[in-house]
Every structure is written in C-alpha cells, then in structure tokens.
Structure 1
Amino acid sequence: MIGRKEKIAFWTNLYNSIVIDGIARLGIERSVKEVAGFFSHIKYEIGGHLYSPDDMEHGILRGNTRPYFHPFKQFGIGDKRRKWVIDPVDSRIHFALVCGSRSCAPIDYYEPGKIYDQLDEAAKSFVNSSEVVTIPEDGKLLLSEIFRWYEEDFGGKPGVIDFIVDYLVDDKSRDFLRQAAGNVNLEYIYYDWNLNR
C-alpha cells in the first residue's frame, strides 16, 4: 500500500519533471506564460489516466482544492483520479513544486523516507529568501504571491504569519511578527514568471 509520504514524494517529483519536460518539448524560451494555460495544457498518461500539472497540484497535492481564480475543484465527483488525493494538504508543498519560473522554488528530488524533513528545508529556504521580507519599522511583511494564491492552505492570513514565524531564522523579524500579529500590513511581491535557468 502506498502511504502519504510515498504519494507526496511521487507526485511532487512527477510534477517537477513534467513541468521541465513541458518547457523543453514546447520550446519555451522566456516564460511558461508563452503557452496559454501551460499548467493545464500539457498532459501525460499515468496509469491509464491523463494528468496535467494542475491536476497534480490542485487535484492531488492540494487535496482536490479549487485552484486560485477557479470556481470548481480540480476533480469532479466521479473522477477516478480522486483515489490519489492527499488530504489534508501540507502547505509546505508550495515550496517544493517547480513552476519553471524565477519566483518559484528550486528543483530538488524528494524521497519518501525523508520527505517531511525535505519539505521543512524547502519551506525554510523559501521563507528566508527574497520572497519574504519583513520591514518592522513600517509594520510590513512583503510576501511572494504564493501566500496570497494559496492562503487557505495555510489557514488564512493568521496561518500565513504563523507559518512564516515558524521558519524564519532572523530573530528580529520573527519577534516583529509575533508582536505585531494581526496588525501586520501584508503586501505581495511581483511574481517573476521568467524562466529559472
């Protein structure tokens, strides 16, 4: 039987591989935005069913949660691919998925036996990068758009802040967020869709 760790590692690695393969096969030169609906456009047959990166991310890895800007869940009630749904969502997954763009996470290979440690490391790396910036003197927290698009996966705005506090290594930034809590002004950093080369 395939457990949760195996599913997360398998579908994360597959997602990352398919995105990179899709970029290469379609001859994308600057950005995945060159192909309309890139993440739903490219599909691969796995076990007799077609899967797009959107199917893997929103349908499986996000617990069949609706994508941002979309009114419906990824898989309908009768969809046989629902057997792979991982629920509840592990919000750290957002820092393991490679969208081929500069603002997304760097690629890694995920192993079932190490997956939770690897997801912790991916989250820590992302939270302590230029994609999360605290400005205590202005009461601001600048965040990657990922935190806006998938806010519900973190438990809303308070959950986003708690998540960031858990992974921040800078004591001053962490203390600022703890003290300011609900009074932090969240702003979102432009998402750079240019290819991550």
Structure 2
Amino acid sequence: MQLHVVLENAIEHVAAELSDLSCIPNDAQKLLSNIATLESAVSRLEDEIVSLHFQLIQERNERRLAEYRFKQLPSQAQDTLDGMIMQEENISPEILQRAELGRLKKQIPEKRLRNYPNQLSEEIVRCVKNIFISLADASIVPSKISSENFQPSTSPSGHLSSSSRWSLSELSALSSWSQSPQIDLQCGNEVLAAGSIFDPYKVRGKLSWNDIGNYSLAKEVSWMSVGKQQLEYAAGALRRFRSLIEQLAEVNPIHLSDNEKLAFWINLYNALIMHAYLAYGVPRSDMKLFSLMQKAAYTVGGHSFTATCIEYVILKMKPPVHRPQTALLLALQKPKVSEEQKKFAIETPEPLVTFALSCGSYSSPAVKVYTPRNLKDELQEAQRDFIRASVGLSSKGKLLVPKMVQSFARALVDDSKLAIWISRFLPQEQAAFVEQCVSQRRQSFLGSRNCGVLPFDARFRYLFLPERLP
C-alpha cells in the first residue's frame, strides 16, 4: 500500500525527494530516480526546441529574402551603394550621430540598415508597433477601455491574460482609503478629471488628473484579432518586420557609445517582447511571462540574446521589486551568458530605463522610439510622462502611487518624502494641490501615511506614444 501511494504521487510529482522513499524496493527507487532525470532532460530539451524554432523561422526567412533581393538588386546600384558605405566608414560616429534622422532615412536603403544599428532598432520598433495597431480590433472593443472594472483582456491567441492579483496588505490599503475620513477636494475642480477624460491607469478609488500630459495622445491596444482581414491588412508590415529582424544577425553594437548601446537595446527589448506575444500568444501569469522571456531571442552579432538577458545582463537592470514573482524566479534562474556576450552590455546602469521598458502589461510604461542623440532627455521625459499619467489621488486626499514608482523612488528618498518627490514631476497646479492635500492630512487625525501604493496589474495592454510630442 505504501508503494502504491508513493508511485501514485510520483506520477504527478516525479521530482519528489527520493530520501523519503526508503520504504519501497531499491528497484522502484532507481526507477523513480531515472524518471526524474528524464523529466528534467525532456523539459530542458523542450525549451531548447522552442528557442531553436524561433531562430529557424528567422534564418529561413533571411535566406529566402536574401535570394529574392539578390535577383532584384541591379549591379550598378549595388556598386554605387557599396561606394557610399565605404566613404561613410571614415566618418566619426559623433558626426553620424548628429546627422538629421530624416536625411539618414532617405540616404540609407532599408536593406543596408545593418550598418546603422540604432536606425535599425528604431525601424524595428516602429514596424512592430504598426503591426499591433493593425491587429487591434476597434470594432469589438473601444480604443479607450477603462481598467476600472478589472475585466481581463483577450490576448492575440484568443486566451485570457492574467487578471490583477493583489496581496492582503494591498487590499487592506485599498479598503482603508474608503474608511478614512473625507478631505475637502472641492477646490481641486480645475486639476481633477471628469469621468469622460481618458486615463490609461484608472483604478478603483483613484481620482485622475484633468491633464495627464503626453499619455493622453497614446494609442491603446488591449485587444487584438488575428482574423484573415486583420492579417491581410498587416501583411505588408509583417514582411518588412521580418526583413528588419534578419539584419540583426550582422549588426555589431560592441563599438557603439554608451548612449547608442542604451537606445539600441531598449528598442530591441520592447520589440522582442511584442514579437514574442505575436509568436507564442500572451502569457497568463508573471511566471509564464518569465518563461517566455527566456525562450524568445534575437540573434545579434552572431550571438543569441533572450529578453531576460537583455534586461538583466545587457541593460544591467535590478530585479523588479514591484513584481515579486519575477524577482524570485530571477534569483533562482539567473541568465547565463558568455564572456563574449557581456561585451555587448552598457558600461554603467541607467535607473531611468525602468520607465522605458514595457512588458505589455496594464502597469507598464508606454512604448516609444528611443534615439541616442537626446537619450538622457528622452529617458527623463519618459519618467515624467509615466508619473504624471499614473499617479492620482483618492477621494480621501491620499496620493496614490504605482508600486513601480514607489520601488524606484525608495533608492532616492524616504517614504515620508515620496509625495514631495512625486510633486517635482507634476504641473505646478497639480503639485500645489498634492502638497495641500498632504498638509491637510498631517493636520488632521488621518495619520502620517500620505501615500497609497497601487499594485502591479499584469493584464495585457500596450500604450504607444507618437514620436513627435508637443
């Protein structure tokens, strides 16, 4: 009977501790040990197969398109183009970096973007963004969907993505907002939003700003359809996207400046996550997203880089405290890279990259194209735009801050000064209103806690910002 129970459990949990199986015959113990070893090997091989399949598709398309282009490209144009490239090899990277983007686009044929890594990464993001927007089915779901009802969205593969899962402490904090006494907010009519204002980070209990800045211009994709009509519409963009991805294999970003590397890998990371969603569907949890990030990879300069490798090795990002499951998995399964791959990494970590990387979740920042020329300004703008759009007030006058922003700010200020730090990124009227609410709470018996933390929402959704912002 003991043997029966052990074997029955082993069918579902093969990796059980074999030290607990001393009551069964040695032959059965060896059998279970062999099964556990084989299960581990099969799991590892399955992961490798998925990764190889992903790369095989890229290589197959690269060969076909290369053959087609070779037949179509006139020899005279090829000689002229080669001459152009030879002349530009003597130009310093600084001069090329200052060149106007529009002029470069006209001078650089698409098939030669492999010689210009930053322009290539920018075009890849633009292309996959257009594919997502093309596949968005606006006839079924309005483009401005509020997240207030917390209804799960539909992924491109037709499955439901993960809905919000909040901890007991977070739910307790939400409850306290409704239980605490009312603060007089009547004087804030000019800065608080009416119900019709689009708020991409609207959650239960949060009063939004009347003006959320550049995020009011964002295009939202929280539902997608892969029907025949949508695929036909996106077919041209898909062909162009494959063409751009194929060129990455010949890109060598090792000798780029730090700003150039940073912009290149930010763009590539955002594109790779979107590409993985199109190829595999949207994962239902952070654990499955982490698994997907370890499978999906691009070949750059002859090396394969997964999304996990790009984020935590190349960009040197810290484990995401605001996503504890991912942080735990990262601690248990650290990305493995070669010494050669490490040469592709940036020299110094840039914390503001937090506001540039998107994993396609409701709580993620919007996606936009990053360029090396004004990268520092663009990252600071990304930080300001995200904070301005995602931070709000409760009806009790408490500042509501996303977990991601709180985790980021903890490296800079104490929690007691978080509200003041947030005010730096808000318009003058909003900042003054926040300071007034904080002051009222301090003077009342509401306690010293002036901020509430909004948990990370893992449901599928992308926001795309236009390139030319006011």
Work out the CA distance in 1 between the residues paired with 2:309 and 2:459: 23
Equivalent of residue 113 in structure 1, options 364, 367, 373: 373
Residue in 2 aligned with 1:94?
A: 354
Report the equivalent of 2:386: 126
Partner of 1:24: 278
Change in CA separation of 1:40 and 1:184 when aligned onto 2, cut-off 3 Å: farther
Equivalent position SS for 1:128: helix
In 2, the alpha carbon distance for the partners of 1:2 and 1:134 equals 43
CA contact under 8 A between 2:308 and 2:335: conserved in structure 1? no
Conserved 8 A contact 1:60-1:82: yes
Contact 2:399 2:450 in 1 (8 A): yes
Amino acid at match of 1:127: I
Shift of the alpha carbon at 1:133?
Answer: 2.7
State the Cα distance separating 1:66 from its structure 2 match.
Answer: 4.5
2:262 equivalent to 1:8: yes
Given that residues 413 and 421 in structure 2 are in contact (C-alpha distance below 8 angstroms), is that contact kept between their aligned partners in structure 1?
no
State the partner residue of 1:39.
Answer: 293
1:60 pairs with 314, 318, 330, which one?
314
Runs of at least 5 residues in structure 2 that lack an aligned partner in the other structure: 1-254, 321-326, 443-447, 463-470
Structure exhibiting the larger radius of gyration computed from Cα positions? 2
Q: CA deviation at 1:31?
A: 5.2
**AA aligned opposite 1:119:** L
- Measured in 2, the distance between the counterparts of 1:168 and 1:45 equals 41
How far residue 118 of structure 1 moved from its aligned partner, in angstroms, is: 1.4
Q: Deviations over 1:142-161 (max 9, x none)?
A: 32232355567x44656x93
Find the aligned partners of 1:117 and 1:11 in 2 and give their Cα distance: 17
Confirm or deny that 1:187 pairs with 2:452: yes
* 8 Å contact from structure 1 (residues 65, 74) kept in 2: no
Compute the RMSD of aligned alpha carbons.
3.6
Structure 1 residue 4 displacement after superposition: 1.5
Contact 1:32 1:100 in 2 (8 A): no
Return closer, same or farther for 1:191/1:50 CA change in 2, 3 Å cut-off: same
Structure 2 CA distance for aligned equivalents of residues 59 and 142 of structure 1: 32
C-alpha separation in 1, matches of 2:311 and 2:461: 19
Q: State the alpha-carbon separation in 1 of the partners of residues 337 and 301 from structure 2.
A: 19
Higher helix proportion (structure 1 or 2): 2
TM-score (norm 1): 0.74
- Alpha-carbon spacing, 1:177–1:165, altered in 2? closer, same or farther (3 Å): farther
Paired letter, 2:403:
E
Which portions of structure 1, spanning 4 or more consecutive aligned residues, are displaced by more than 4 angstroms? 30-34, 72-78, 134-138, 148-152, 176-180, 183-186
Q: Is the 8 A contact 1:64 1:74 kept in 2?
A: no
Quick one: distance in 1 between partners of 2:365 and 2:371?
17
Cα deviations across residues 50-69 of structure 1 (Å, max 9, x unaligned)? Answer: 222221112122x2644533
Deviation at 1:136, TM superposition (A): 10
Q: Is the 8 A contact 1:42 1:52 kept in 2?
A: yes
Structure 1 residue aligned with 2:121: none
- CA change 1:97–1:141 in 2 (3 A) is same
Once residues 336 and 293 of structure 2 are traced to their aligned partners in structure 1, the CA distance between those partners, rounded to angstroms, is 18
Shift of 1:105: 1.3
**More strand by percentage:** 1
The structural deviation recorded for 1:103 is 1.4
Instruction: Percent identity, please.
Output: 22
Q: Measure how far apart 1:127 and its partner are.
A: 0.4
Query: Partner letter of residue 367 of structure 2?
Result: I
Count matched residues: 190
Separation in 1, partners of 2:275, 2:437: 40
2:424 and 2:431 in contact (8 A); partners too: no
Matched, 1:84 2:308: no
**Counterpart check, 1:144 vs 2:396:** no
Structure 1 unaligned residues grouped into runs of 5+: none
Shift of 1:168: 2.4
Deviation at 1:25, TM superposition (A): 0.7
Query: In structure 2, what residue type is equivalent to 1:133?
Result: G
Per-residue displacement from partner, 1:11-64 (whole Å, max 9, x unpaired)? 000001101100001133x75759452222322222222222221112122x26
Counterpart in the other structure of 1:48 = 302
